[in-house]
Amino acid sequence: MTPPVFAHGHLRLYLLSLLAESAQGMHGYELMQALGDRFGGTYVPSAGTIYPRLAKLEEEGLVTKVADGRKTVYAITDAGRTELASREGELDDIENDVTDSVRRLADEVRSSVNDAMRTLKAELAAAAREARTEARDAGRTVRADSANQGSRNQLQRAEAAINDFRSEMRSELRMTVAKGGALTDETVAALTAGLEALKRSVLGK
């Protein structure tokens, strides 16, 4: 099981630190975006994670909220700044934990991409072997047009596997970006290199 990004009570303190950096205050979506930026797009908290903690901070008098049109802007209070100052050492530890979490989440992203690449490679290799086997058997027992039909069927299966992978990866990557995430250069490079290696393996080059 993947460990939580923040230990108990740490997200609450981290939200205070983000609000302390803003002179005009921030609304909930801006706080979610700011957290996503700190994590390089590998972690973007949900509204169900952020707003209950903001409500608790308001109850404790550590933040205030003001309606700004259809949005609610949160700002840190003097009491909140005092709380933050008294726990400065703890906040440093949280920053170190965030760095470790970013690295761990980045490794998980790379691992998921590599797993998908290995699965696709295995499926394409199996389809290619089946196509070659069926082509050889067809050449011994049926006319050439029957063998060609078998190859076309295998080609369709291979193309379907490629299209399924392409659709799934596009959906996952677009969802990440839509949630405010960011694709790292390392992830794109790993995906590009993996696809190139797969192409050479399948084509025998």
Q: What is the pLDDT of residue 66?
A: 92
Q: Please, are residues 134 and 72 in contact by the beta-carbon 8 Å criterion?
A: no
**Residues 18/75, Cβ–Cβ less than 8 Å:** no
Q: Which residues pair with 63 in a beta bridge?
A: 76
pLDDT score, position 181:
61
Q: Are strands 26-27 and 63-68 parallel, antiparallel or unpaired?
A: unpaired
**Looking at residue 75, what is its pLDDT?**
95
CA–CA distance, 57 with 20 (Å, rounded to integer): 13
Is the pLDDT confidence value at 41 over 50?
A: yes
What pLDDT score was predicted for residue 81? Answer: 94
Tens-place pLDDT, residues 182-202:
666 667 666 776 777 777 777
Residue in the structure block whose two tokens are 């078998």: 150
Residue 127 predicted with pLDDT over 80: no
Q: Among all chains, which residue has been given the structure tokens 């405010």?
A: 180
Task: Supply the pLDDT for residue 3.
Answer: 43
Average pLDDT over the chain, rounded to whole? 75
40-53 mean pLDDT:
81
Enter the pTM of the model: 0.45
